[in-house]
Structures are given as C-alpha cells and as structure tokens.
C-alpha cells in the first residue's frame, strides 16, 4: 500500500526540516502544504525536495487555515494514487514512529480512519482545558464521543479520504472530520500516541480560547 504523509505548515521554519528528514529516513512519501507562510518555510521545503528528489509541496498564496491545508493535502495525495493518507503536524510534536500505530489498523483493514490519542494525564494544563472543551463540543454538535478529537495525527484509507468533506478552515476541522466519520458510517479506531511538548509546540494547536472561538462559530452556524 502506498502511504502519503500530509504535513500542513504555516511559518514552521524552525522545525520543518527535521520533521521532513525524519519522514524521509523512515521511507515515507510526503506532501507539504505551505499555507501562505511568510518565513523561510517554503524555501526550506523546496530545497530539501530538490536535494532529496523526494516529496511534494503545495502552496497557498495566502494563509487559508488548517482545514484548507488538510483538504489541499488530501486532494494532492489522492491524485498521486495514495492508498493510505496520514496527517502529521509540522511543529515537531509528533513522534514519527507513531505513524505506524495509525496506519496499521488501515493496512490490516480494521478501520477506515485511525486517530492517535494523546494521554491527557501527561498533557499540560493549558492544553488539557482546551482539548477537553473541544471533546465536549464534538460530542454535542456531532454526536460522537472520542478520546482526543483534536489530534493532528490521523490516517485514512482511500475510501474515507474520498468521502470526508472538509469545509472548516480553522482548527474546527478536527471536530468536523469526526462528524464526517459518523455521517459516512466509517470505521474508527483510536490508538495511543506520544506527544513531544516543548516551548515551541505549546504555542501551537488548540487552547481554551480556540475552543471557545470554534464553539461560537458552531452555535452561529446552528442558528443561522
């Protein structure tokens, strides 16, 4: 099975080279979606691809948000005839070895979608609150309970990647994907994963403020 790793990136010049080299060393094909970065991200990725003669890059001229970047990456991977598509954060918070954890249920035909689940007991308090709020929002608005609705490490088989519709442009995409899993009656499996917390990664992702912002958008959409 041909596996593609989608790496959405926005101003990730500090980490993107190491992340991609780790993927290359493990033999994975990747698609970087540069979501309108204004730092050196695009140049670093293009140089690495030229040197290694491996990988692809798509670029949004403007910052369109995480959801749009994931959508672009999935579409690009499907065009390259990917059998398994993985989403992987560019900030260095994921252990690349955990890719095997999320793709194995797909390869073994045990699931259509697999999500890496972080240990909330080890999660810093500021992150725990935001992610707990998003788990609750996901349950209320999409009717499905998952252990880590905001995890950026996911794997899809080709069927799931084709069926899931992404409209959200911000971090709300993570909950939207969960809702699409239920809407299409896709088989979901959650697997434990490691998270690497650094001062840099702590500034990324969903916090309490982001959770409340997404909640307000969903409420507005519900009563629109």
CATH number for 98: 3.90.550.10
- For the ranges 37-41, 99-103, 138-142, which has the lowest average pLDDT? 138-142
Q: If pLDDT is split at 50, 70 and 90, which confidence band does 215 have?
A: low
Q: How many alpha carbons lie under 13 Å from residue 56 in its C-beta half-sphere?
A: 18
Quickly state the pLDDT bin for 219 (edges 50, 70, 90). Answer: low
Summarised one tens digit per residue, pLDDT across range 79-98 is 999 999 999 999 999 999 99
Q: What pLDDT, on the 0 to 100 scale, is given for residue 212?
A: 63
Q: What is the pLDDT of residues 36-80, one digit of tens each?
A: 999 999 999 999 999 999 999 999 999 999 999 999 999 999 999
Q: Give the pLDDT of residue 214.
A: 64
Domain membership of residue 99 as a residue range? 3-223
Indicate the number of domains in the chain.
1
**Residue 70 pLDDT:** 98
**Cβ-contact 178, 98 below 8 angstroms:** no
Q: Which two tokens stand for residue 23?
A: 């993927």
CA dist 124 and 141 (Å) reads 26
The pLDDT value recorded for residue 170 is 84
Tokens of 12: 């990730």
Q: What is the pTM of this model?
A: 0.90
């Amino acid at each position: 099975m041909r596996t593609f790793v989608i790496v959405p990136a926005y101003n990730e010049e500090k980490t993107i080279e190491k992340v991609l080299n780790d993927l290359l060393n493990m033999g994975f094909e990747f698609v970087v979606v540069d979501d309108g970065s204004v730092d050196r991200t695009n140049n670093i990725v293009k140089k690495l691809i030229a040197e290694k003669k491996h990988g692809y890059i798509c670029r949004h001229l403007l910052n369109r948000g995480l959801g749009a970047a994931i959508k672009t990456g999935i579409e690009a991977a499907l065009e390259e005839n990917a059998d398994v598509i993985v989403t992987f954060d560019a900030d260095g918070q994921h252990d690349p070895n955990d890719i095997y954890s999320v793709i194995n249920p797909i390869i073994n035909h045990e699931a259509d979608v697999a999500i890496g689940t972080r240990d909330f007991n080890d999660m810093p308090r500021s992150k725990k609150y935001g992610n707990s709020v998003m788990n609750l929002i996901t349950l209320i608005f999409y009717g499905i309970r998952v252990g880590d609705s905001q995890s950026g490490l996911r794997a899809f088989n080709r069927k799931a990647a084709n069926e899931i519709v992404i409209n959200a442009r911000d971090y709300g995409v993570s909950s939207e994907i969960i809702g699409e899993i239920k809407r299409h009656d896709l088989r979901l499996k959650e697997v434990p994963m490691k998270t690497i917390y650094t001062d840099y990664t702590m500034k990324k992702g969903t916090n309490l403020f982001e959770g409340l912002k997404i909640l307000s958008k969903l409420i507005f959409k519900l009563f629109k």
